[in-house]
Each structure stands twice: as C-alpha cells, then as structure tokens.
Amino acid sequence: MVFSSDRADFGFKIDFVRDTEDPQRVFRAFSQLIDFCQITDKILIKTLDIDIEPDILLDNIQQGSIIVWLKNSFKAASDNFLENLDLRLVSYYLVNFKASIINFINERTTINEPSELEILKNKFQSLARNTKVNQLGIYTPPNDKDLLLSIDTFQGALSELQEADKLYYLTPSSNLPVNRNFSISPESRENLLVGDTTTSEIEMILKVKKPDYLGDSKWQFKHDNKLIEAKMNDLEWLKRFKKREVFIAPGDAVKARVEIVTQYDNNCEFISTKYTLQRVIQVIPMPPDNQLSLFRD
C-alpha cells in the first residue's frame, strides 16, 4: 500500500543570479537537496522503528525564482499497518526535523564539538513523541554518524550554488532562509565522530594496483581482494622510486611494515581504517606464469 499527501508538504526555493555562468548549478543543487531529504527521512523513519518506507514525490515547480514543491509518500507491505498510523503526524515529523537541521546550520558556520549535536537530538525527542507511533513513548535519536551524513549531504547542495544565490526551505506556513556560510571539512567531520582509536603495525604483502608517481596522493593496493589506499611514509625508498632506482611493473607486490589506524565512534561503531607504509622491505615481482592473468585482476 502507498500513501501520499494530497498537497505539497515542503519545498525549496532558489533565488539565482541571472545572466551568470554554470546555469546547471541550480539543478545540481536541487538534486542534492532531494538527496538530503531522502537520506534524512530514512534516518528519521528508522528511529521510529516502524515498518514503512518513506519516499518523496514531485508536486510542483514554479518559475521566477525556481521553487520546487515536494510531498511525502509512504509504502508498507500491509494495508492495515498504514491504516493504524496517523501518517500526517509522521509527515509533520519529517518536515519539521529537516527545518530543525536548517535552523541548526543557520546558527553556526561549522560544528566544533560532538556535543553540539545534542541540540538536534533534543529537538528529535519532542518531534518524535508527537508521532505517537510508540505506545511507550520511547524514541532513540539518530546517532552522530547519521546526523552528520544528513548535514554533509545538505552542505553538498550549498556548495553547488554561487555566493550571491539564495536558498530557502519552504513549508505551507513558513519560508526559512538558509545560511550559506556553513561548512564542515571532511577531516573535521571525521574528527567529530571519533570516540576511540586503535593503532597497530604489522608486516604485509600488498599487490600494487596504482603507484603514486607525483607524490601528492596515496598508493592503491590489493589485499585479500580488497582495495586499500595507503600513504607511503618510507621517504628514503620513495626517493629511490622517483629516481627510477626501484622499478615496479604491473602486477608486482611490495612487502612492507604497515601501520593500521582504526577509528570508532562513541557507540563503538566502526568509522574508518587508515594504512601507512612505514618501511618497504622488498618489491616482489609477479611470477612469469601469472603474466596472462594480469588483466583479470
């Protein structure tokens, strides 16, 4: 069964600067904004612990300043399940929490501490209780990783627009301007999530997938059928490689001491693993018998 509103629930308005280059930016921004809504709604429905799938339908596009109106849609395997929910309240929850995220962005230029996200979690509690989908009134807020994913997706839409363009979040009763000066760097975003870090150093044999000839990026290796990006920290060996004193052919491998740094968030959930080659022990040429299989890897 599918349920959708009979009118638009929310929208976005972009006042774009006329007669400027890169007109595609407006449509890329709208695409990113819809991604933000879809990602955020799925995160929010997950917190309600109900078996419905949210979707977004295009309701209307208005000219002048470009205005896109959207409405919520919900799918469930059981007709009875949807009939037992007041989906107007669920829709209100989705629309207003997105407004809470934008208000949160409007009050700052970045996020410096994970504790700042508590503002959104507290707002979540009041909005989630209004849905009345849980008889006990117990709702678990989105975790930091999900909240930052939502914010980062919205930031992606902001980055598509020019400085003089203006963006608004619309509901049938409000017109909310968006702060264009907000940003979080990828490094800052990752640091906000990190609760614990483990570090180890082991000897590994890594098949070279893509060397870094310029010295500005990471090397790519294959290990256990996985692609690994790693920083090369053996500067003496790297100097010899750039002078062509060390030769690496397609399919060759390196034996090296590798530092592995694994990061976890405050809920002990995995975030990322970083690899650094601290010392290259030797280059292992590909056996001649494997030459024919080179392009199958």
> Hey, what domains does the chain have and what are their CATH numbers?
2-191 (no CATH), 194-296 (2.40.50)
pLDDT score of 295: 46
Q: What is the mean pLDDT of residues 271-294?
A: 82
pLDDT at 81: 63
Q: Output 158 or 84, whichever has higher pLDDT.
A: 158
Q: Which two tokens stand for residue 170?
A: 């619309």
pLDDT of res. 291:
52
Assigned token pair, 232? 């090369």
At residue 292 the predicted structure's pLDDT band, cuts being 50, 70 and 90, is very low
Per residue in 5-36, pLDDT (tens digit) is: 778 999 999 999 888 888 899 999 999 999 99
The Cα 213–Cα 230 span in angstroms is 14
- The two tokens of residue 205 are 């044999």
Ordered alpha helix ranges (H), 21-142: 24-48, 79-83, 87-106, 118-129
**33: Cα separation from own chain's centroid:** 13
Predicted structure pTM score: 0.74
22 torsion bin: left (phi>0), alpha (psi -120 to 50), beta (else): left
Rounded CA-CA distance 135/82 in Å is 16
Radius of gyration of the chain (CA): 25
Tens of pLDDT along 199-224? 999 999 999 999 988 767 899 999 99
pLDDT band at 287 (very low <50, low <70, confident <90, very high): confident
Q: Is the pLDDT of residue 2 over 80?
A: no
